[in-house]
């Protein structure tokens, strides 16, 4: 089985396609968005926070603790902040 796609003759432009020089290709490669804005990178940064929020929500026994921090509001806040990513 071949994975090569053969285009019909009508789909191929006359004269072929121009080739890119190495410096032009390198310029396009350098003009990309920084890796910090990549979805995978942001996902790996937010994954521990989301897991921590779920663990704290699971360990929370009551809605109103006698004293200390109310962790039940932590999970929705982290999930809301990580929603755009």
pLDDT the model gives residue 20? 79
Per-residue pLDDT averaged across 7-14, rounded? 77
Residues 13-48: pLDDT tens digits? 777 667 778 998 899 888 877 777 777 877 888 888
Residue 83 has pLDDT above 80, yes or no: no
What confidence category does residue 62 fall into, taking pLDDT thresholds of 50, 70 and 90? low
pTM over 0.75: no
DSSP the chain: ---PPPPPGGGSPTT--PPPPHHHHHHHHHTSPPGGGSHHHHHHHHHHHHHHHHHHHHH---SS-SSS--GGGHHHHHHHHHS--
């Amino acid at each position: 089985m071949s994975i090569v796609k053969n285009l019909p003759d009508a789909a191929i432009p006359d004269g072929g396609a121009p080739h890119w020089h190495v410096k032009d290709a390198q310029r396009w490669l350098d003009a990309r968005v920084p890796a910090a804005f990549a979805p995978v990178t942001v996902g790996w940064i937010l994954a521990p926070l989301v897991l921590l929020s779920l663990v704290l929500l699971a360990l929370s026994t009551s809605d109103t603790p006698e004293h200390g921090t109310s962790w039940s509001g932590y999970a929705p806040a982290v999930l809301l902040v990580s929603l755009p990513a």
